[in-house]
Amino acid sequence: MKDRIEIIQGDITRSDADAIANAANTSLLGGGGVDGAIHRAAGPQLLAECRTLHGCETGRAKITRGYNLKAKYVLHTPGPVWSGGGHGEAEKLAGCYRSCLELASQYGCKTVDFPSISTGVYGYPVDKAARVAVSTIADYLASHGEIERVRMVCFDARTKAAYDAALSEL
24 binding ligand AR6? (CB under 6 A): yes
Which residue among 47, 121, 138, 161 contacts ligand AR6 (CB under 6 A)?
121
Instruction: Among 33, 53, 135, 139, indicate the residue that binds ligand AR6 (CB under 6 A).
Output: 33
3-state SS, 55-121, equals: CCCCCCCEEEECCCCCCCEEEEEECCCCCCCCCCHHHHHHHHHHHHHHHHHHCCCCEEEECCCCCCC
Q: How far is CA 104 from CA 31, 88, 148, in A?
A: 23, 24, 11
Residues forming beta bridges with residue 75, ordered by sequence position? 21, 63
**Which letter does DSSP use for residue 150 in this model?**
E
Are the CB atoms for 62 and 106 separated by under 8 Å?
A: no
- Does 122 contact ligand AR6 by CB under 6 A? yes
Q: Which of 7, 115, 130, 167 is close enough to bind ligand AR6 by CB under 6 A?
A: 115
120 near ligand AR6 (CB under 6 A): yes
119 near ligand AR6, rule: CB under 6 A: yes
Site string for ligand AR6, 123-162 (x = CB under 6 A): ------------------------------x-xx--x---
CA dist., res. 46 & res. 49, Å (int): 5
Judged by CB under 6 A, does residue 31 bind ligand AR6? Answer: yes
Q: Of 145, 142, 104, nearest to 20 (Cα)?
A: 104
Q: CB 107 → ligand AR6: shortest distance, Å?
A: 21
Least Å from the CB of residue 80 to ligand AR6: 9
- Which residues share a beta bridge with 149? 111
Which of 67-75, 87-95, 120-128, 133-141 is the region at the interface with ligand AR6 (rule: CB under 6 A)?
120-128
Residues interacting with ligand AR6, by CB under 6 A? 11-13, 23-25, 31-35, 37, 79, 115-122, 153, 155-156, 159
